[in-house]
């Protein structure tokens, strides 16, 4: 088992299974694509997916490598706090289900900005919404690309810098290929395939681990604690107690919870998925499918995490590259007995983890390119008069630019903490996007100034607070460098929390109210149209018929 | 409507001879699109007021309820550790149990909303939609 000190299993087998996945999905993408030269085809796959298909794709889009590897690892090391973290990601979907998904489907066409600018002055609101969309998508994209680098070190035994950069570049190029060839239709298929593989893989591990402990959660937790205690006295007990991870930064965790529960329904790549179904009813069905799958998946990861702590042990996991992120793959390796079966099982799980990154980045790329082409190029630069063909051309060119930027950014960000980048994306989505979405849909008086203030206010306050937080720099007055920060030697920090949401979300809502009340603008005609459309679906975008 | 006499455009996706283009139902974005005054009339109608209140009376209190329940769980976990660490059975603490209950309530609210929407919202929304789009054709 000496190989285990540097890597798990057999790298070439991991690579082969990954390559097989890439080939199968590429073939499917080519087969389902119809060129996607038309806007509707490229952006929404013709809005012709069923609710169930879209729900599976949403799960594929949402369950990133960070949630598969990150949450399983958090449970393996912090037990209870890992569960606490995953619940925010699930409960958040109720905001999408109850308040956002259906009205969004009924009032918009391709992007979040369609809805926000519906009854406002088009250009200022659309510009703001597009900037915020691009910011959120870019942070999320960086997190995924950086995650690809970490994953490679862990699963392929590649820790050399150049090789990691090479893998990040390959992920970026594959993403460009999926989106250019398949448009939204192809991307959706990649997400569906990946979601099914990921949930089946995690489900097998779940039943295997639970079966080992007689389907008794208490026994499993007890075994995890006992193993931890045998390695380091007291370490196992911590798994069963609250606040073993967040105990030192409670307010920071509450802030993170706000970002998670309010951020999901403001993530542009999630919102865009609601346009790929023909009706609001199907959008509702999508979310209920997504909630079932995502909920089941987080229950699986809870058992996976405790299983990894009980069967592999924290000490062994910590000795692997990737540390806590290695919990789920290590479990796949040790569960069948660390022999040939373990090697094969690990390779499958590793392949699924890679597939996860590809599906998520493709969804982000199509969202960002749609926002640039549809909102900025067509609506702002061309006054809404660009013909659909040239708009899609711009979108396709943007995909290439985004791919290249993501490769460069991913390489630069590969040492950054992935969870931090993801929580940043959620915080910006919750502060800049959600207030404006909810006000547009449910507050009659809301107007252009309110919307613009809310978006920019939420965005800027979130970014400024993050910049002066311990995640980026050392606090003012401290003398030692802060090793965990992005800029450990800069001592300008004045914001004490890692996550800005507890301040920046209220800022987004309050500025929305202030901006609205200080402006006299109203548009009763468009307000009536938006409200009636959002609830009845009259005049909503139809699916294209093939 | 007015757009039917547009010049046929080349459409590589449908491969139709030019004289078959355009197909009004597919190509006319404005087909069945109600006028601004129609929307305002519907907005002022009692049927729409009923639909809106049926939707809001379910969605708003439910949103408030699950947010309160979620943040109560987060706050208990952060500031009432010893309470959450109480063992309920075996190694399963009250906190773990309440955490699993969050999953249960999320699934339950989803189910309740779908049932409410299918039964109480969809038929009313469909009749208003048909009326609006029918008038516009």
* Best to test chain A binding among B43, B50, B100 (most A CBs inside 10 Å): B43
The ipTM value here is 0.92
Output the average pLDDT for chain B. 82
Task: Kindly report, residue by residue over A330-344, the tens digit of the pLDDT.
Answer: 898 888 877 788 888
Q: Flag whether residue A315 sits within 8 Å of chain B, measured between CB atoms.
A: no
Let me know: does B84 contact B76? Beta carbons within 8 Å. Answer: yes
- Report the pLDDT value the prediction gives residue B3, as an integer from 0 to 100: 44
* pLDDT range class, residue A241, cuts 50, 70, 90: confident
**Statement: residue A514 has pLDDT above 80:** yes
Angle CA(A545)–CA(B4)–CA(B7) in degrees, nearest 5? 95
Q: Say if A297 falls within a structural domain.
A: yes
Residue A442 lies in a domain: no
Yes or no, beta carbons of A253 and B48 under 8 Å apart:
no
CA distances from A373 to A104, A128, A181, A404 (A): 20, 14, 17, 17
Q: Is the dihedral of CA B82, B83, B89, B91 positive or negative?
A: negative
A288 with B63: Cβ contact below 8 A = no
Looking at residue A301, which CATH number applies to its domain? 1.20.1730.10
Residue A438 contacts B where some CB pair is shorter than 8 Å: no
Is residue A399 exposed (0-12), middle (13-18) or buried (19+ Cβ within 10 Å)?
buried
Q: Do B63 and A87 touch (CB under 8 A)?
A: no
> Taking a contact as any Cβ pair under 8 Å apart, which residues of chain A between 512 and 541 contact chain B?
524-526, 528-529, 531-533, 535-539
Cβ contact, residue pair B103, A83, below 8 Å: no
pLDDT surpasses 80 at B106: yes
**Contact assignment for A217 to B92 by CB distance below 8 Å:** yes
From B17's Cα to the closest Cα of chain A, the distance in A is: 16
Can you tell me whether residue A477 is helix, strand or coil? coil
For chain B, say whether A393 makes contact (Cβ under 8 Å). Answer: no
| pLDDT, mean of residues A112-123 | 92
Please report which helix (H) or strand (E) contains residue B92, including its range: strand B92-93
Task: Report the C-alpha gap between A170 and A193 in whole angstroms.
Answer: 20
Higher pLDDT, A451 or A326: A451
What domain range includes position A286? Answer: 2-24+41-419
Burial class (CB in 10 A: 0-12, 13-18, 19+), A531: buried
- Asked if A29 and A178 touch (Cβ cutoff 8 Å), the reply is yes
List the Cα angle B89/B92/B93 in 5-degree steps.
100
B115-to-A312, A353, B110, B118, B121 alpha-carbon distances in Å = 44, 35, 9, 5, 10
How far are the Cα atoms of A243, A473, A480 from residue A484, in angstroms, in the given order?
20, 9, 12
Residue with tokens 């609601």: A274
- Give backbone dihedrals phi and psi of B93, rounded to 5 degrees, phi first: -90, 170
The 10s digit of each residue's pLDDT in A79-99 is 899 999 899 999 999 999 999
Cβ(A148)–Cβ(A168) under 8 Å?
Answer: yes
Would you call A242 and B92 a contact, using CB atoms and an 8 Å cutoff?
Answer: no
What is the CB neighbour count within 10 angstroms for residue B61? Answer: 10
A525 located within any domain: no
d(CA A532, CA B51): 10
pLDDT reading at A301 higher than 70: yes
Q: Is the peptide bond before B22 cis (omega within 30 degrees of 0)?
A: yes
Most confident of A27-31, A145-149, A200-204: A200-204
**Partner-chain contact B71 A257, CB within 8 Å:** yes
Q: What is the pLDDT of residues A49-83, one digit of tens each?
A: 999 999 999 999 999 877 788 889 899 999 899 99
- Name the pTM for this structure: 0.90
Whole-angstrom distance, CA of residue A430 vs CA of residue A100: 13
φ/ψ region of B17 (left if φ > 0, alpha if ψ in -120 to 50, else beta) reads beta
Query: Largest Cα–Cα distance in chain A?
Result: 72
Q: Which residue of B has its CA nearest to A529?
A: B39
**Cα distance between residue A285 and residue A263, in whole Å:** 21
Q: Write down the pLDDT at residue A3.
A: 40
Residue A37 CA to residue A518 CA, distance in Å, equals: 44
- Of residues A519 and A1, the one with the higher pLDDT is A519
In a domain, A377, yes or no: yes
Residue A35 belongs to some domain of the structure: no
Residues A400-450 have pLDDT tens digits of: 999 999 899 888 877 777 777 888 899 999 999 999 999 999 999 999 999
User: A6 is written with which tokens?
Assistant: 């540097």
Asked whether residue A253 is domain-assigned, the answer is yes
Interface contact A35-B81, CB threshold 8 A: no
What are the residues facing A444 on neighbouring strands?
none
**How many domains are contained in chain A?**
1
pLDDT at A529 over 60: yes
Which of A387 and A307 is assigned the larger pLDDT? Answer: A307
Distance in angstroms (rounded) separating the CA atoms of residues A400 and A313: 43
| Rounded mean pLDDT, A292-306 | 95
Query: Measured at the alpha carbon of residue B69, what is the angle toward residues B63 and B71, in degrees to the nearest 5?
Result: 100
Q: How far apart are CA A267 and CA A536, in angstroms?
A: 24
Out of B85, B106, B125, name the one closest to residue A291 (CB): B106
- CB-based contact, B109 to chain A, within 8 Å: yes
Max CA-CA distance within chain B? 77
CB atoms within 10 A of CB A213: 20
Adjacent-strand bridge partners of B89: B92
Integer Cα distance of A204 and A292 in angstroms = 17
Q: How confident is the model at residue B1 (pLDDT cuts 50, 70, 90)?
A: very low
Answer whether A229 touches B (CB < 8 Å): no
A285 in a domain, yes or no? yes
CB distance B40 to A528 below 8 Å = yes
pLDDT confidence tier of residue A159, bands split at 50, 70 and 90: low
Average per-residue pLDDT in chain A? 88
CB–CB contacts below 8 A, A to B? 168
In a domain, A502, yes or no: no
Cβ A219–B48 below 8 Å, yes or no?
no
- Which of A153, A74, A67 minimizes the C-alpha distance to A314? A74
């Amino acid at each position: 088992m000496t190989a285990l000190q540097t890597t798990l299993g057999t790298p070439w087998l991991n690579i082969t299974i990954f390559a097989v996945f890439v080939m199968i999905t590429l073939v499917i993408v080519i087969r389902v694509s119809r060129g996607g030269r038309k806007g509707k085809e490229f952006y929404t796959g013709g809005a012709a997916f069923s609710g169930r298909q879209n729900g599976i794709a949403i799960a594929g889009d949402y369950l990133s490598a960070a949630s598969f590897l990150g949450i399983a690892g958090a449970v393996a090391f912090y037990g209870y706090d890992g569960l606490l973290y995953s619940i925010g990601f699930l409960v958040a979907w109720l905001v999408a289900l109850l308040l956002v998904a259906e009205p969004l489907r009924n009032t918009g066409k391709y992007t979040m900005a369609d809805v926000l600018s519906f009854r406002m002055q088009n250009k200022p609101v659309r510009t703001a919404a597009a900037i915020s969309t691009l910011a959120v998508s870019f942070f999320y994209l960086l997190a995924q690309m950086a995650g690809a680098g970490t994953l490679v070190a862990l699963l392929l035994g590649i820790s050399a810098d150049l090789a990691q950069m090479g893998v990040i570049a390959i992920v970026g190029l594959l993403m460009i290929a999926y989106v250019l060839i398949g448009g939204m239709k192809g991307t959706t298929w990649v997400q569906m395939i990946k979601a099914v593989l990921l949930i089946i893989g995690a489900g097998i591990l779940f039943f295997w681990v639970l079966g080992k402990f007689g389907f008794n959660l208490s026994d499993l937790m007890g075994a995890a604690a006992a193993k931890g205690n045998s390695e380091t006295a007291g370490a196992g007990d911590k798994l069963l107690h609250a606040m073993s991870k967040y105990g030192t930064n409670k307010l920071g965790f509450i802030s993170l919870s706000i970002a998670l529960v309010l951020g999901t329904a403001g993530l542009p790549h999630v919102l865009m998925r609601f346009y790929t179904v023909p009706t609001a009813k199907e959008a509702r069905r999508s979310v209920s499918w997504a909630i079932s799958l995502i909920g089941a998946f987080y229950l699986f990861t809870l058992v996976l995490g405790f299983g990894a702590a009980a069967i592999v042990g924290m000490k062994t996991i910590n000795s692997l590259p990737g540390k806590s992120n290695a919990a789920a793959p290590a479990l796949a390796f040790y569960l069948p007995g660390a022999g040939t079966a373990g090697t094969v099982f690990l390779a499958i799980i590793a392949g699924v983890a890679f597939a996860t990154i590809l599906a998520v980045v493709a969804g982000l790329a199509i969202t960002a390119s749609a926002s640039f082409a549809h909102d900025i190029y067509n609506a702002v630069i061309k006054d809404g008069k660009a013909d659909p063909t040239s708009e899609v051309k711009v979108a396709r060119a943007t995909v290439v630019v985004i791919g290249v930027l993501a490769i460069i950014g991913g390489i630069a960000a590969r040492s950054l903490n992935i969870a931090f980048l993801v929580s940043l994306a959620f915080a910006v989505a919750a502060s800049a996007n959600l207030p404006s979405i909810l006000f547009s849909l449910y507050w009659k008086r809301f107007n252009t100034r309110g919307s613009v203030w809310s978006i920019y206010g939420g965005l800027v306050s979130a970014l400024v607070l993050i910049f002066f937080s311990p995640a980026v720099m050392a606090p003012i007055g401290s003398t030692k460098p802060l090793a965990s920060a992005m800029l450990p030697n800069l001592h300008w920090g004045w914001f004490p929390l890692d996550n800005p949401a507890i301040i920046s979300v209220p800022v987004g809502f309050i500025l929305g109210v202030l901006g609205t009340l200080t402006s006299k603008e109203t548009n009763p005609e468009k307000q009536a149209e938006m409200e009636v459309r959002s609830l009845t679906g009259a005049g909503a975008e139809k699916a294209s018929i093939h | 409507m007015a757009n039917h006499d547009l010049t046929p455009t080349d459409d590589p996706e449908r491969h139709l001879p030019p004289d078959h283009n355009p197909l009004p139902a597919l190509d006319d974005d404005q087909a069945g699109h109600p006028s601004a005054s129609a929307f305002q009339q519907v907005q002022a109608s009692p049927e729409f007021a009923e639909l809106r209140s049926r939707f809001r009376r379910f969605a708003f209190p439910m949103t408030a309820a699950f947010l309160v329940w979620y943040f109560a769980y987060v706050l208990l976990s952060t500031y009432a550790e010893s309470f959450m660490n109480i063992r309920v059975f075996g190694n399963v603490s009250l906190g773990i149990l309440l955490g699993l209950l969050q999953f249960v309530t999320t699934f339950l609210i989803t189910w309740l909303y779908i049932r409410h929407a299918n039964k109480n919202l969809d038929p009313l929304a469909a009749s208003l939609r048909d009326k609006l789009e029918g008038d516009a054709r």
